[in-house]
Amino acid sequence: DQQVKQNSPSLSVQEGRISILNCDYTNSMFDYFLWYKKYPAEGPTFLISISSIKDKNEDGRFTVFLNKSAKHLSLHIVPSQPGDSAVYFCAASVRTGTASKLTFGTGTRLQVTL
Amino acid sequence: DTEVTQTPKHLVMGMTNKKSLKCEQHMGHRAMYWYKQKAKKPPELMFVYSYEKLSINESVPSRFSPECPNSSLLNLHLHALQPEDSALYLCASSQLGGRQPQHFGDGTRLSIL
């Protein structure tokens, strides 16, 4: 049972335009959400996160929105740049004792074209 | 540059071999993690260590044996692996407590012959 879903396996966006990546989750116990970017042959790189008590978090060109009632989050990248081309994973976290467990979505491959 | 360093980057081993994967971080994080990622799939959690003690084992077969010798190092000992264990093994670390991002190394790509 996939608790975190990214329904778009791929997305193509023109340079300078907005990229919107979506993610849905089913487990109400998740209290922290993250986006990671992954290039081939590298590990996931942390991009931005949001706590379940917020509905928006912004960091430069990246903004994450959380809609708890819909169990939906999205990552907006604006303006998109060719270097943003990568696979993007959303992840949801639940605290377990002193650490946390991450559950990842299946990823969306973003292609930013010139 | 990643602040979590994993060695080796690639490993090929036979089903009867014993090998170890190593992970090191110097960010002062007291939580460390092992994940397994198969091709075109998301990373899946295997083990969690807090304060150098194993706190979560996600029903991983005993042919995988984790070890945390100190707060900066995490090992994964491998013995009698199967071909289906071929995957990318990722190490991560984080501050303790909830709502902390995990930071990943670049992984070890493991192939079992």
Q: What is the pLDDT of residues A54-96, one digit of tens each?
A: 999 999 999 999 999 999 999 999 999 999 999 999 999 999 8
Burial class of A105 by CB neighbour count within 10 A (0 to 12, 13 to 18, 19+): buried
How many residues are present in chain A?
Answer: 114
List the beta strands (DSSP E) in chain A: 4-5, 10-14, 19-25, 32-38, 45-51, 56-59, 62-67, 72-77, 86-96, 99-104, 108-113
Question: What is the distance in angstroms between the Cα of B35 and the nearest Cα belonging to chain A?
Answer: 10
Assign B5 a pLDDT band (cuts: 50, 70, 90).
very high
Q: Which residues pair with B14 in a beta bridge?
A: none
The nearest alpha carbon in chain A to B3 belongs to A45
Distance CA B14, CA B12 (A): 7
Question: What is the per-residue DSSP string for B19-71?
Answer: EEEEEEE-S---EEEEEEE-TTS--EEEEEEETTEEEEE-S--TTEEEEEEET
Closest alpha carbon to A109 in A2, A7, A11, A4? A11
Residue B13, H or E segment: strand B10-13
Q: Give the model's confidence band at B98: pLDDT under 50 very low, under 70 low, under 90 confident, else very high.
A: confident
**Distance from CA of residue A94 to its chain's centroid?**
16
Write the pLDDT tens digit of every residue in A22-59. 999 999 999 999 999 999 888 999 999 999 999 999 99
- Do B107 and A101 lie within an 8 Å CB cutoff? no
> A20 - beta bridge partners?
A76
Nearest residue of A to residue B29, measured between CA atoms: A99
pLDDT of residue B2: 59
Taking contacts as CB-CB distances below 8 angstroms, the residues of chain B near A101 are 45, 48, 56
Q: For residue A112, give how far its alpha carbon lies from the nearest alpha carbon of chain B (Å).
A: 20
Give dist(CA A42, CA B90) in Å, integer.
10
A13 CB neighbour count, 10 Å cutoff: 20
- Asked if B68 and B34 touch (Cβ cutoff 8 Å), the reply is no
Q: Tell if the CB–CB gap between A105 and B51 is shorter than 8 Å.
A: no
